[in-house]
Amino acid sequence: FSRIIGREKQIKRIFDDRGTFTVELVKILAENDAKMVLLWDDYGFKNGLFMRPSLYRKYIFPWLKQICNAAHKLDCKILLHSDGDLLEIFEDIVNCGVDAIHPIESTTANPEYDIFKLNDKFGDR
């Protein structure tokens, strides 16, 4: 990603292609009685994110929201797998409509990225 960061059109095309494919795949799975779909897409390292939060918000989260909406319309849940410390973007992920996140790594460098603290803040969502 860092090698193409200055190539806006290419980046957008990559994420649009992947996002469109994933929305359609989730629809097919849900229409065939899948109750939950696992999305595996690591967003971070143990000591932080792979890229600036603004880039997730620009390229990834619009598609993640569409994916979640497509699943929810067909009574299907979304489980996101992402290792790493996601605290900076955790609320964004929840706002996209992700139903569950796996794992909440207790070994990250951030003591605030804690399953109990996250549950207190987001558990009802």
> 28-73 pLDDT, tens per residue?
999 999 999 999 989 999 999 999 999 999 999 999 999 999 999 9
Per-residue 3-state assignment (H helix, E strand, C coil) for the chain: CCCCCCCHHHHHHHHHHHHHHHHHHHHHHHHCCCCEEEEECCCEECCEECCCHHHHHHHHHHHHHHHHHHHHHCCCEEEEECCCCCHHHHHHHHHHCCCEEECCCCCCCCCCCCHHHHHHHHCCC
- pLDDT value of position 3: 66
Mean pLDDT, residues 83-95: 96
* Structural domain boundaries enclosing 88: 8-122
Q: What is the pLDDT of residue 7?
A: 82
Domain-located, residue 2: no
**How many structural domains are present in the chain?**
1
Share of the chain above pLDDT 90, in %: 82
Residue 3 domain-assigned? Answer: no
Give domain status of residue 1, yes or no.
no
Q: Is residue 52 a part of any domain in this protein?
A: yes
* pTM for the predicted model, two decimal places: 0.91
What confidence category does residue 123 fall into, taking pLDDT thresholds of 50, 70 and 90?
A: confident
